């Protein structure tokens, strides 16, 4: 019997991709596709919304009763609801939603003591390799090097800077002894914007349909 899968943020870019991959993999029984109330895709077939053949599952704002696994690429408020749902239903959780508050992160960590949880600000293999490398490189270069992170995403991305950019900066700080997030400077402006010692600048670009680019200088 296949695990029953719930996808939250089903009409978003990542949600549609997860739907398509889950359908092709044939490892799950997709039982629910959730979006926020008022979303224009509510009531549409989830497969059609994702650009694949119809699944017979309509996008809804309601959570199902009995999912075994939830995959969430949504917004922080919706993700918090998904965490609660998984705790109530003893369901495993894969969470890729970024922009979580400290309180929401603490709630997620507490949930991970009771249910299986995978959380990542970026799920790509390449970015996770980069996450592991940046701290090593920064510690080898030493304090004489200035570090800036530039991230670029499509015009519809809501949170800035990206979760991946923050993870990169956090890993650099852990390796170099800087205090995250106090050492972060979010862009620069004004007549007195000299770079201070032990800081990392993060700059966010939002334009067109950029899928996601991260540069460390």
Give the Cα-Cα-Cα angle 111, 117, 118 (nearest 5 degrees): 140
Tell me if residue 197 is catalytic: no
Q: In what order do the strands lie in the sheet with 200-206?
A: 184-186, 200-206, 147-153, 213-216
Of the listed 58, 157, 174, 203, which one is catalytic? 157
Q: Where are the alpha helices (DSSP H) in the chain?
A: 13-25, 46-49, 76-89, 102-111, 125-141, 163-176
Of the listed 4, 39, 44, 153, which one is catalytic? 153
How far is Cα 123 from Cα 109, in angstroms, rounded to an integer? 18
Tell me if residue 23 is catalytic: no
DSSP state of 62: S
Asked if 207 contacts 152 with a C-beta cutoff of 8 angstroms, the reply is yes
Residue 137 phi/psi, 5-degree rounding, is -65, -45
| Upstream peptide bond of 161 is cis (omega within 30 degrees of 0) | yes
Give catalytic residues, as residue numbers. 153, 157
């Amino acid at each position: 019997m296949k695990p029953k899968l719930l996808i939250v943020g089903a009409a978003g870019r990542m949600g549609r991709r997860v739907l398509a991959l889950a359908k092709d993999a044939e490892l799950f029984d997709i039982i629910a596709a959730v979006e926020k109330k008022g979303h224009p895709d509510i009531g549409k077939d989830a497969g059609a919304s994702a650009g694949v053949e119809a699944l017979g599952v309509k996008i809804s704002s309601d959570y199902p009763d009995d999912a075994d696994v939830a995959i969430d690429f949504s917004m922080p408020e919706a993700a918090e609801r998904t965490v609660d749902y998984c705790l109530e239903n003893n369901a495993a959780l894969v969470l890729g939603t970024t922009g979580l508050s400290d309180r929401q992160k603490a709630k997620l960590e507490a949930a991970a003591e009771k249910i299986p949880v995978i959380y990542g600000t970026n799920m790509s293999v390449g970015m996770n390799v980069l996450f592991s490398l940046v701290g090593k490189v920064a510690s080898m270069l030493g304090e004489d090097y200035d570090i800036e992170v530039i991230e670029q995403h499509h015009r519809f991305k809501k949170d800035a800077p990206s979760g991946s950019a923050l993870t990169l900066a956090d890993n650099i700080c852990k390796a170099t002894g800087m205090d995250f997030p106090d050492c972060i400077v979010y862009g620069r402006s004004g007549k007195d914007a000299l770079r201070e010692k032990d800081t990392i600048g993060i700059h966010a670009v939002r334009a067109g349909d950029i899928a996601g680019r991260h540069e460390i200088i």
